[in-house]
């Protein structure tokens, strides 16, 4: 049995409310399938499953708020899971990309499972229909697990409770506001920040981008953000101390998962992560951004989008303030800030020219690293940006 | 309900007898015919002393020929009399099947509506007297199958007292099933008990959790089971069908709509029985009221055995009913 737990979607998350199970006992699941929807301060998040198998039992009822780490469901691993797992361990780098045909086959099987007949009494079915209750989300207590009137009535009252709660709970942006408040207060209280800044000439990088984009269809065009994320990811390989978390000591993280601050229209920010950014090409990073940003703005993120980021980038974009000094998102130990770029007189090799320049900052956790590491990092980042074609 | 009315204790036998007496007193056309009903006072002593009270013309002993005297009764009915024909037990009524099915039940139709057959046929029936396979039949489902007949089942003392009186008012043949195992049982009935309705089923105990639908000897067993179930918090509704043909759907469907769970109890064999008919009507007309499958407790499908413990085991008993209900409710 694999235990499926309430995931942590950021250090500031202590608990989540299970809103809806998307799977029921007997359903086949595979890595990446959405198993549930959970209400957090960051909105309604779709929770993905990371194992393959058959759902054994759903332990938590919809509408229940449980702490992070609570076992929510049991999954029976299928034999193939065990095999795949072995493979994953032995040949980790090669199994990354799966052939699409295989995925389609798996999806078809999953759908077959979902079409199974639900045992429900005629009365319960009628009441469920009248009240818009999804029978697949109810666990029957009748004979042979059939759904009875009582089961449906319980589901109706639960639904009413959730709806009532939703009415009562803070409007979304206020909830996010309070999540930010908690995380930033903790950061400012606990983390002794040091700040570094470096002016970087990005004329070359932008020229390379223009050149690259001129050959691409509009949908495939790259934004400067993709290039910057790639440059940060690549630079971090040499500075593992910055790609870490602080939990009484520095814990260096192997994967470079870059959290990217997305401003929400209603106010507030949300930080989806680009996983394994150092292993992704610029195109792949761009794809990830294209996928995530609209979902983040619509508050439709998945659990994996929000978990495990190891460092954060905040970028003001063009025309904004020149410099941004970030506040570290705990338990991370660094945040990189990109100021707005502008044309400036720039002296280089004894010559004065007009260049597009921006200011990159690094706020570091002084418990974890010292200014020299941060400084070296910014220098490395500058070098990467001067050789965009190598990224 | 006449709450203030005086009550008397009466056996089932006495209730039947007083019903008979009242019928004979009320209408001169009424007469009783059957094997040993006169001098012997009836095989089950239901008509004891009636010969002395009403005379040979109205309490008539007949030869041992069910086909013959049931046919004679039909003839008398056609001629304007109000015959009560006693077939000693339902087991012997098989010999009169042709008269009942082919004549009594069909003459109104065959005569184009000209000839009513206002005969009442009383039959002793039921299981529980160690009379063995040939004398322990439950033929209620047989007769309830036949259009043209009205089939009554006397499950209570009130009905023992009153069903015959109303049956005699029917222009069409009425079969009354009387349960010999209940003859000596004593219950309180109203001192002025009399004619009762013979068109409706009756809810004898109201409840909200589950409906037990039954008739005949099942009625008191189910009421006792309901009392026991009440002690563990199961609120049972008990419904006596009373009229097995035509079935009073309205009453049992209303009960289903109230409790959403049904157990049907009868002594007759399970296959093609009253309970199978009730069950399918519920499925047809109250499907969306059901919260669990309809369950049935019926006679075991064997020739009813002679030994007492096997005879008891062959038909639903109070404990069987209690256990069946508990099982149906155990998922709540």
Sign of CA dihedral B240, B242, B243, B248: negative
Asked if A38 and A13 sit in the same domain, the reply is yes
Q: Are residues A108 and A164 in the same domain?
A: no
Q: How far is B291 from chain A (nearest CA, A)?
A: 5
Q: B202-329 belongs to which CATH class?
A: alpha beta
- Counting the structural domains of chain A, the total is 3
Of A143, A146, A149, the CB nearest to B260: A149
Chain B residues in contact with A124 (beta carbon < 8 A): 291
Judge if A246 and A381 occupy the same domain. Answer: yes
Question: How distant is the Cα of B287 from the closest Cα of chain A, in angstroms?
Answer: 6
Fold type of domain B7-190: Rossmann fold (3.40.50)
Considering chain B, what percentage of its residues have pLDDT values greater than 70? 98
Alpha carbons A285 and B14: distance in angstroms, whole number: 96
Instruction: Classify strands B150-153 and B243-245 as parallel, antiparallel or unpaired.
Output: antiparallel
CA–CA distances in Å: residue B22 to residues A146, B13, B27, B140: 54, 14, 9, 26
Mutate to test the interface with B, among A135, A141, A147, A149 (most CBs of B within 10 A): A149
Of the segments A164-173, A217-226, A278-287, B73-82, which one has the largest average pLDDT value? B73-82
Question: Would you say residue A331 lies in a domain?
Answer: yes
Task: Quote the CA–CA distance of A179 and B33 in Å, as a whole number.
Answer: 94
Does the residue A179 lie in any domain? no
**What's A338's domain CATH number?**
3.30.559.10
Q: How many CA atoms lie within 13 A of B172 on its CB side?
A: 17
Residues A96 and A129 in one domain: no
Separation of alpha carbons B149 and A355, rounded Å: 108
Active site residues of B: 66, 135
Specify the DSSP class assigned to residue A147: B
Please, which pLDDT band fits residue A113 given cuts at 50, 70 and 90? very low
- State the DSSP H helix or E strand holding residue A56, giving kind and residue range, or none if neither: strand A53-58
For testing contact with chain B, the best of A119, A120, A122 (most B CBs within 10 A): A122
* Average pLDDT value for residue range B153-179: 98
Pick A141's closest partner by Cβ from B290, B293, B331: B331
Q: Which of A123, A125, A142 sits opposite B331 (nearest CB)?
A: A142
Domain stop point among A116, A138, A155: A116
DSSP per position, B251-293: HHHHHHHHHS-EEEEEEEESTTSHHHHHHHHHHHHHGGG-SS-
pLDDT of residue A263: 83
> B288, A143: Cβ pair inside 8 Å?
no
Of B273, B278, B228, B271, residue with least CA distance to B248: B278
* Interchain CB distance below 8 Å, A125 and B289: no
A148 to B292: CB separation less than 8 angstroms, yes or no = yes
User: How far is B81 from B60, CA to CA, in rounded Å?
Assistant: 14
Q: Looking at chain B, which residue has its C-alpha nearest residue A152?
A: B291
Chain A residues near residue B331 by CB distance under 8 angstroms: 141-143, 148
Question: Distance between CA B77 and CA A328 in Å, rounded?
Answer: 104
Strand-pair partners of B237: B211
Question: Does residue B19 carry a pLDDT above 90?
Answer: yes
d(CA A107, CA A124): 30
Residue A110 has pLDDT above 60, yes or no: no
B residues 75..114 contacting A (CB < 8 A): none
What pLDDT, on a 0 to 100 scale, did the predictor assign at position A161?
83
Structure tokens at B179: 């349960």
Residue A187 placed within a domain? no
pLDDT of residue B100: 98
Nearest-by-Cβ selection for A123 from B288, B331, B332 = B288
State whether A126 and B288 contact (CB < 8 Å). Answer: yes
Same domain, A127 and A198: no
Tokens of A201: 């000439």
Quote the pLDDT of residue A79: 60
pLDDT tens-digit readout, A290-307: 888 888 877 777 777 777
Indicate the average pLDDT of chain B.
96
Distance CA A227, CA A230 (A): 5
Residue A312: beta bridge partners?
A: A259, A335
The verdict on a CB contact (< 8 Å) between B291 and A121 is yes
Q: Which residues contact A82 (CB under 8 A, 6 or more apart)?
A: none
Tokens of B220: 């008191």
Whether the CB-CB separation of A73 and A59 falls below 8 Å is answered with yes
**pLDDT, average across residues A322-327:** 90
Same-domain status, A233 and A133: no
Chain A residue numbers touching B293 (CB-CB < 8 A): 143
Q: Span B152-177, mean pLDDT?
A: 98
Q: How many CA atoms lie within 13 A of A197 on its CB side?
A: 12
Q: Is there a single domain that holds both residue A112 and residue A12?
A: yes
- Name the pLDDT band for A114 (thresholds 50, 70, 90): very low
Q: Which of B256, B261, B284, B292 to mutate to test the interface with A (most CBs of A within 10 A)?
A: B292
Query: d(Cα B50, Cα B55) in Å, to the nearest integer?
Result: 8
Decide if B253 touches A, using CB distance below 8 A: no
**Residues 130-149 in A contacting B (C-alpha not used; CB under 8 Å):** 141-143, 146, 148-149
Lowest pLDDT segment from A295-304, B66-75, B166-175, B243-252: A295-304
User: What residue of B is the nearest CA neighbor of A154?
Assistant: B332
Q: Which of A17, A18, A15, A19 is CA-nearest to residue A67?
A: A15
Same domain, A157 and A52: no
CA B163, B169, B175, B181: dihedral to nearest 10 degrees?
Answer: 20
Characterise A105 by phi-psi region: left (phi > 0), alpha (psi -120 to 50), beta (else): alpha
Helix/strand number for chain B, H first, E second: 12, 14
CA B140 – CA B277 distance, rounded (Å): 12
Distance CA A379, CA A388 (A): 15
Under an 8 A CB cutoff, do B292 and A142 touch? yes
Is A184 part of a structural domain of the chain? no
Which is nearest to A285 in space by CA: A295, A294, A277, A297? A277
Weakest mean pLDDT among A78-92, A121-135, B143-157 = A78-92
Answer whether residue B4 shows pLDDT above 70: no
Nearest CB neighbour to A124, from listed B291, B293, B332: B291
Task: Please provide residue B239's backbone torsions phi and psi, each rounded to the nearest 5 degrees.
Answer: -120, 125
The interface predicted TM-score (ipTM) is: 0.74
Q: Judged by CB atoms within 8 Å, which residues 256-275 of B form the interface with A? A: 260
Average pLDDT over residues B79-84: 97
pLDDT in tens, A154-169: 999 888 888 777 665 5
- Chain A residues whose beta carbon lies within 8 Å of the beta carbon of residue B292: 121, 142-143, 146, 148
Pair A384, A238 in one domain: yes
| Adjacent-strand bridge partners of A197 | A361
- Helices A224-236 and A282-297 pack at an angle, to 10 degrees, of 120
CATH number at residue A134: 4.10.320.10
Q: Confirm whether A180 is domain-assigned.
A: no
The CATH 3.40.50.970 domain(s) of chain B lie at 7-190
| A82 in the same domain as A63 | yes
Mean predicted confidence (pLDDT) in B17-32:
97
How many residues can be counted in chain B?
332
Chain A residues with CB inside 8 Å of B287's CB? Answer: 122
- The yes-or-no verdict on residue A84 having pLDDT over 60 is no
Every domain range in chain B assigned CATH 3.40.50.920:
202-329
Closest CA of chain A from B272, distance in Å: 24
Q: Do B290 and A121 touch (CB under 8 A)?
A: yes
Shared domain for A245 and A359, answered yes or no, is: yes
Contact present, B105 and B147 (Cβ < 8 Å): yes
pLDDT in the model for residue B36:
97
Residue A63 has pLDDT above 90, yes or no: no
* Residue A78 pLDDT exceeds 50: yes
Residue A377 resides in a domain: yes
Distance of alpha carbon A182 from the chain centroid: 19
Closest Cβ opposite residue A122 in set B290, B331, B332: B290
Could you tell me the pLDDT band of residue A173, with boundaries at 50, 70 and 90? low
Q: Chain A contacts of B259, Cβ < 8 Å?
A: none
Residue A150: domain span: 121-169
Q: Are B262 and B210 in contact (CB under 8 A)?
A: yes
For an interface test with A, the pick among B208, B286, B331, B332 (most A C-beta atoms closer than 10 Å) comes out as: B331
Cβ within 8 Å, pair A122-B288: yes
DSSP annotation of A51 reads S
Task: State whether B331 and A148 contact (CB < 8 Å).
Answer: yes
Please determine, for residue A86, whether its predicted confidence score (pLDDT) is greater than 60. no
- Nearest-by-CA chain A residue for B283: A122
**Of A84, A99, A116, the domain-final residue:** A116
Q: Does B291 touch chain A (CB under 8 A)?
A: yes
Q: A231 with A150, same domain? A: no
Chain-chain contact of B292 with A126 (C-beta, under 8 angstroms)? no
């Amino acid at each position: 049995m694999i235990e499926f737990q309430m995931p942590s979607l950021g250090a500031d998350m202590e608990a989540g409310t299970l809103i809806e199970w998307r799977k029921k006992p007997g359903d086949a699941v595979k890595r990446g399938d959405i198993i549930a929807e959970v209400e957090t301060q960051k909105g309604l998040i779709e929770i993905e499953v990371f194992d393959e198998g058959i759902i054994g039992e759903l332990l938590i009822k919809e509408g229940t708020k449980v702490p992070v780490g609570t076992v929510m469901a049991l999954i029976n691993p299928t034999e193939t899971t065990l095999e795949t797992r072995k493979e994953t361990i032995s040949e980790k780098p090669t199994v990354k990309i799966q052939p699409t045909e295989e995925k389609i086959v798996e999806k078809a099987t999953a759908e077959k499972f979902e079409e199974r007949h639900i045992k429900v009494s005629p009365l319960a079915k009628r009441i469920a229909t009248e009240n818009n209750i999804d029978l697949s989300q109810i666990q029957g207590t009748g004979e042979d697990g059939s759904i009875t009137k009582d089961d449906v009535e319980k589901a109706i009252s639960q639904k009413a409770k959730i709806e009532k709660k939703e009415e009562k709970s803070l409007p979304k942006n206020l909830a996010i506001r309070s999540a930010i408040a908690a995380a930033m207060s903790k950061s400012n209280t606990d983390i002794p920040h040091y700040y570094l800044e470096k002016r970087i000439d990005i004329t070359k990088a932008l020229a390379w981008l223009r050149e690259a984009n001129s050959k691409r269809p509009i949908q495939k065009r790259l934004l400067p953000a993709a290039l910057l994320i790639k440059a940060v990811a690549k630079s971090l390989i040499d500075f593992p101390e910055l790609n870490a978390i602080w939990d009484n000591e520095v814990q260096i993280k192997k994967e470079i998962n870059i959290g990217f601050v997305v401003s929400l229209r209603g106010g507030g920010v949300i930080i989806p992560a680009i996983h394994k950014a150092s292993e992704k090409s610029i195109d792949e990073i761009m794809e990830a951004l294209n996928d995530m940003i609209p979902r983040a703005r619509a508050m439709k993120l998945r659990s994996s989008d929000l978990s495990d980021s190891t460092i954060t980038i905040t970028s003001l974009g063009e025309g904004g303030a020149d410099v941004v000094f970030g506040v570290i998102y705990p338990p991370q130990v660094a945040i990189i800030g990109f100021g707005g770029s502008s044309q400036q007189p720039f002296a280089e090799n004894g010559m004065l020219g007009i260049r597009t320049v921006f200011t990159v900052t690094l706020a570091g956790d002084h418990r974890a690293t010292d200014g020299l590491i941060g400084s070296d990092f910014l220098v490395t980042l500058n070098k990467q940006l001067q050789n965009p074609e190598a990224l | 309900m006449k709450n203030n009315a005086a009550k008397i204790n009466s056996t089932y036998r006495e209730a039947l007898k007083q019903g008979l007496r009242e019928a004979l007193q009320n209408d001169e056309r009424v007469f009783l015919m059957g094997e040993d009903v006169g001098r012997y006072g009836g095989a089950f002593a239901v008509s004891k002393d009636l010969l002395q009270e009403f005379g040979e013309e109205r309490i008539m002993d007949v030869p041992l020929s069910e086909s013959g005297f049931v046919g004679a009764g039909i003839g008398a009915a056609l001629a304007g009399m109000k015959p009560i024909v006693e077939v000693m037990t339902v087991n012997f009524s098989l010999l009169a099947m042709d008269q009942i099915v082919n004549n009594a039940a069909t003459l109104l139709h065959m005569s184009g509506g000209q000839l009513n057959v206002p005969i009442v046929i009383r039959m002793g029936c039921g299981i529980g007297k160690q009379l063995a396979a040939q004398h322990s039949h439950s033929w209620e489902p047989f007769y309830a199958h036949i259009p043209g007949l009205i089939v009554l089942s006397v499950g209570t003392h009130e009905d023992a007292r009153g069903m015959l009186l109303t049956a005699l008012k029917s222009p069409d043949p009425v079969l009354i099933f009387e349960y010999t195992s209940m003859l000596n049982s004593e219950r309180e009935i109203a001192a002025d008990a009399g004619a009762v309705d013979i068109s409706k089923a009756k809810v004898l105990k109201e409840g909200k959790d589950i409906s037990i639908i039954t008739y005949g000897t099942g009625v008191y067993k189910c009421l006792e089971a309901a009392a026991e179930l009440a002690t563990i918090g199961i609120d049972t509704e008990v419904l006596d069908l009373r009229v097995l043909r035509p079935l009073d759907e309205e009453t049992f469907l209303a009960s289903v709509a109230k409790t959403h769970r049904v157990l049907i109890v009868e002594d007759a064999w399970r296959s093609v029985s009253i309970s199978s008919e009730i069950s399918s009507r519920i499925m047809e007309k109250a499907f969306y009221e059901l919260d669990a499958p309809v369950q049935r407790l019926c006679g075991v499908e064997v020739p009813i055995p002679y030994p007492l413990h096997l005879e008891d085991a062959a038909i639903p008993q109070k404990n069987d009913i209690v256990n069946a209900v508990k099982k149906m409710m155990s998922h709540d």
